[in-house]
Structure 1
Amino acid sequence: MVVKQFEWKPSVVLVGQPTTFYWNIENAKSCFGNNKPRTSSGNNGRHVYTYAQSKVTSWSCTDSRGNTTNLTASLTVEETPSTPRKPSISLVSGKVNVSWSKVNGAYKYKVYYRLDSNSWHYYTSSVGSSLLTNLTSSGTYQVRISACTVNNHCSDYSSISSIQISPPSMHSTWTGKYSSWWERPQYYNGTPKYSGAFGTYTHKHIPVAVYAGGDLFSVRTDNTQDDNFYVYVSKGTQEVLVHTINNWDDPHTNAVISILPHGYIEVRIASRGLAHKFQSGVILKSKTPYSLNFECVDGCNSQQVNYEAYPQIHYTGWGKHLIYTKYEVINGKNYRRTYSKVNGSEQRLSDLAQYTLSYYDSNRDMLCVASNTLLNASPDTRVNLNFMCTENHSGLWSKADYSILDLNDDSGRIVYDSNGKFIYLKDMIAVAGTQRVLFTESDSADPTTGTRWLSEWIRGEGVKKITQVGHNYSAGAYLKKGEKLYIVAGISNSTGYLSGNLELYNTDYNLVDTLQGDYSYVRRVRGIDGMAVMSQGTSDQTTRGKHYTLELK
């Protein structure tokens, strides 16, 4: 016995639409269904139903050997839901909130949206409210709703609701505190390699500010009072001096701050590892949770030397993970090598000299590291962009294509060959699981010559130019506002000097705001969106540096 057909066709119809039941059971001696005998093949003609229902047709057929087969065929009759009322629409914390009244008989809703007069897009919601996310552009967003059955029989569209989304603007606030001012004693035709406000220097110290327990915690430095170098920690409007380095002015020893489990605060003051200019790193810890009362726990005296430069602290699914640099003298040259440390276990990530950024994506439980390469160990010839990641850390690292990386193969991690142009790292982030690295690509280490572009590398897409900038060390940072990502670009105000106006770009690289001033080293605050700290000051030391906050509003 062979069942060639046993079905309602179509098996899903709307009220008032016709359907027919067909059957063909080859080699059946007898069939019985709906309490009466049936032929082995045929149809029941055209049927039209006047109300929504679900029914099952059940038969049994027997062949000449007495073998019996039970058969079922389902029919669903649906009624198109009524058209939803016009939805309500509002802006909440940078996200568009859409709500509508439920419709009887609706199994789901299709939420259609578009920007200005562009094409409509939709997503499905099972409830009467939803959030529009990942809106990357400003303009007028229109929304309409359609109510649908489980089998996608949908109502007419509701009336359209609209909302205007304006781009955020940048707002700076002086904290009332001063910060380090420094001039690198390396000159090009009388112009220093860089000079200006450096209280939040460098981009390779991560993070310098965190938001936790309802307060902003940040570190800043000030070397403008006398010949000493002072490190301060603030909690909201409170601030304390936590460390002093006598007869020192180099902000390479700026600190990072993090919140340990149970609310303890850790401050790591970076080591300066040059053979001719060494300064040990120092680690401080608060004596009680969220307090500004600190004690030294490492690097506290000449018997405790800490060699961790450019510290970058991440709290991951596998515990605290530190990425940092060690200065190692090889053939008379200072090699800046990248190291990884988990639970006290140290791992060197490359034999090459590098500068490094890192970012932990808590949504993916993935820590990624981006770096350039210092040719002949010289920081003035930093080229290429390298990239690697680790997940559920076991000492294994992967390439950008997710294959396993051999740490002895430095060429295997190159994602962008700069062809001899210089790469100055600025920031790193992951959005929707995709890593992005912000950097300046420059023709020259000489700040008075050449062309420079703020650019970004996007995993899976490659390198894209954003805007031309005036200095290798001009600011660059990622900031989020709601679901939107923005890029802060520092634009040098005078030839050869790094501080200047700030420009804000969206991810389509459209300019959306400009903030006038002499700003440098914009550093994203960890733990809150749309906020950063930065320094402000000119190339003139008499102005001193100032410590600022930056917010997107």
Structure 2
Amino acid sequence: MTGIKTVTSFKILALIFTNFCVGNAIGQSLTNTKINGYRGIWFQLNQKYEYGDKYSGALGTYTAKHVPLAIYAPEVDKTFFVYGGTPSEDQRYLLCMIGEFDHKTEMVSKPTVVYDKNGVDDPHDNPSILIDNAGYIWVFISGRGTTRPGYKYKSKMPYSIKEFVQITEEEMTYPQPRYTDFGFFHFFTKYTGVRQLYFETSKDGITWTDDKLLAAIPEKEGEKSGHYQVSDIYNGKLLGTFINRHPNGNVDKRTDLYYMQSMDFGSSWTTVNSIETPLPLIDLDSPAKAVDYASLEKNVYLKDMGYDANGNPACLYIRSNGHEPGPKSAPYEWCITKWNGEQWQTAVVTTSDHNYDMGSLFIGEDDWKIVGPTEKGTQDWGVGGELALWQSQDQGETWKKIKILTEHSALSHSYVRRPVNYKAPFSFFWADGHSHQPSKSQLYFGNFDGDIWKMPYNMTEEYEMPIKVK
């Protein structure tokens, strides 16, 4: 397929809904139907090493480059969240799902299939979420390069997950949409030379700008480039992104840390200290570079980012000695790099045992927290583990483990995600599963007091209470 966005005409939306309903009735598609429970997808990459797959496990809330996965909407007192699901425990193909938690009733709805991936089992195609100023819920379905397209879907009614309408079909991977004071902004990736970063904007979500190349840094002239990113928004206007780079496009050599930001809806970009950064970012030694990890021969695996009360950015990531799982690439150091107003500072929080262990960063005025699988689980050298809560009371400079959230678990907990505008008890959510062998995967949410609830795997009612497990 080409990179051109194919926009769905509203004149044929009724026909689309009719086709979906007919398809559901005869088993052709599950799009816009309900699933009777919260069932996460299990996946393995099938790149095998001595200590297991490069990564495998419960990847319903994967990847760290799908941002955000949940949003709290105070207008209806609900948290809406997306994830990669599957029809049943013995079926491993991807359904792009959305659910809701009602903070008034403390119940979860039956989840809706926004898009049936038609046999694809790869959670790289997982969704992300946006809610606009009118309350419409947008679900951005990731594609995979040019082989599988991405889609934008919009809820038929505000704050409703009952039905969704396809708006576009296009090439996009790792969607990171945000609703700003200026309109819709979308960071994403295209597999051009090898993984390059792009963005697009829209005033209404229907008509979008052409894709604009954000970053494509070759290490040497004529070589390929590659990047991953995490992103966030501050005060409705400031959009920022932390970026790593892949030398000659080699994702297994990902290294370095860059930061860029825009205050004017992507019209211009600067470093954190206001040095103009022309697009695309192609200079290896750009002033946008925050940390030189290539010279230290360190790999960088981005996890999350956020802003402090003054708009200073901070990034959570794991740095390691290589891409292979197991002791060869250890130590797997959880790091925070932050701008203190004058310079970049890096602190080590703790260590775990895998590059794809993933947690989230919560930045308060005087209280920073991390929730993630930093503790050893029952499956060594695999994705996930036991969850812990870490706290910093000096703006991320030093960290202390203050609570063990899970322990003695039969399966590993992985990919803990932070909802936008989170509200307890749905302060973070994640999935569990075996790190090395196909298994059932269930979804959970919790709060900073250490309370944990499991979402029902099987449901008979439209709304049911989650199961309190701690």
TM-score range, shorter chain: 0.7 to 0.9
* Root mean square deviation, CA, Å: 2.0
Equivalence for 1:438: 316
Q: Compared with structure 1, are the counterparts of its residues 242 and 225 closer, same or farther at alpha carbon in structure 2 (3 Å cutoff)?
A: farther
Q: Within 5 Å, which residues of 2 pair with 1:503-514?
A: 503-507=388-392, 508-514=398-404
Counterpart among 328, 331, 348 of residue 465 in structure 1:
348
The 5-angstrom pairing of residues 506-525 of structure 1 reads 506-507=391-392, 508-515=398-405, 516=407, 517=409, 518-525=412-419
Contact 1:481/1:529, CA 8 A, preserved across alignment: no
Alignment of 1:120-519 (within 5 A): 177-189=38-50, 191-212=52-73, 213-223=76-86, 224-236=89-101, 237-238=108-109, 239-273=111-145, 278-299=147-168, 305-328=169-192, 330=193, 335-343=194-202, 344-345=208-209, 346-352=211-217, 353-362=226-235, 365-393=237-265, 395-407=267-279, 408-412=282-286, 413-418=288-293, 419=295, 420-432=297-309, 433-448=311-326, 449-450=328-329, 451-459=331-339, 460-480=343-363, 484-491=367-374, 492-493=376-377, 494-507=379-392, 508-515=398-405, 516=407, 517=409, 518-519=412-413
Instruction: Compare CA radii of gyration and give the structure with the larger one.
Output: 1
Deviations 1:168-188, CA, capped at 9 Å, x for gaps: xxxxxxx96220101111011
Q: CA offset at residue 502 of structure 1? A: 1.5
Distance 1:486 1:436, change over 3 A: same
Contact 1:471 1:498 in 2 (8 A): yes
Q: If the length of structure 2 is used for normalisation, what is the TM-score? A: 0.74
CA contact 1:176–1:547 (8 Å) conserved in 2: no
**More strand by proportion, 1 or 2?**
1
Kindly provide the amino acid, as one letter, of the partner of residue 262 in structure 2.
T
- Output the CA distance in 2 between the equivalents of 1:528 and 1:409: 37
Number of the residue aligned with 1:5: none
Q: 1:394, 1:520 → 2: CA distance?
A: 33
Decide whether the 8 Å contact of 1:422 with 1:441 is kept in 2.
yes
Alpha carbons of structure 1 residues 483 and 509: separation in structure 2 relative to 1, 3 Å: closer
Instruction: Indicate if the aligned counterparts of 2:390 and 2:399 stay in contact, CA closer than 8 A.
Output: yes
**Secondary structure of the residue that 2:417 maps to in structure 1?**
strand
CA contact (8 A) 1:481 1:552 kept: no
SS of equivalent to 1:475: coil
Q: Is the 8 A contact 2:154 2:167 kept in 1?
A: no
Is there any run of 5+ residues in structure 2 with no aligned partner, and where? 1-35, 102-107, 203-207, 218-225, 393-397, 450-470
Kept after mapping to 2: 8 A contact 1:265/1:285: yes
CA distance, structure 1, for counterparts of residue 423 and residue 336 of structure 2 = 20
Distance 1:454 1:215, change over 3 A: same
Query: More deviation in 238-247 or 405-414?
Result: 405-414
Alpha-carbon distance, 1:406 to partner: 2.6
Provide structure 1 residue ranges, at least 5 long, that are not aligned to the other structure.
1-174, 300-304
**Structure having greater relative contact order (Cα 8 Å, sep ≥ 6):** 2
Match of 2:3 in 1: none
Aligned positions, number: 365
Amino acid at match of 1:453: E
* Deviation at residue 254 of structure 1 after TM alignment: 0.3
How far did residue 298 of structure 1 move?
A: 3.5
2:239·2:263 contact (CA, 8 Å) conserved in 1? yes
CA distance in 2, matches of 1:265, 1:537: 29
Distance in 2 (alpha carbons) for counterparts of 1:439 and 1:547? 23
Q: Report what 2:8 is aligned to.
A: none
Could you say if the C-alpha distance between residues 371 and 394 of structure 1 is closer, same or farther in structure 2, counting changes exceeding 3 Å?
Answer: closer
Query: Do 1:534 and 1:550's aligned partners in 2 also have CA atoms closer than 8 Å?
Result: no
SS in structure 2 opposite 1:201? Answer: coil
Q: Secondary structure at the match of 1:380?
A: helix
1:253 Cα offset (Å): 0.3
Residue identity matched to 1:504: L
Deviation sequence 1:62-93 (CA, Å, 0-9, x none): xxxxxxxxxxxxxxxxxxxxxxxxxxxxxxxx
The CA distance in 2 between the partners of 1:393 and 1:481, in whole Å, is 25
How far, CA to CA, are the matches of 1:199 and 1:458 in structure 2?
29
Runs of 4+ displaced beyond 6 Å: none
Alpha-carbon distance in structure 2 between the residues aligned to 1:480 and 1:434: 11
What SS does the corresponding residue of 1:376 show, helix, strand or coil? helix
TM-score in terms of structure 1 length: 0.63
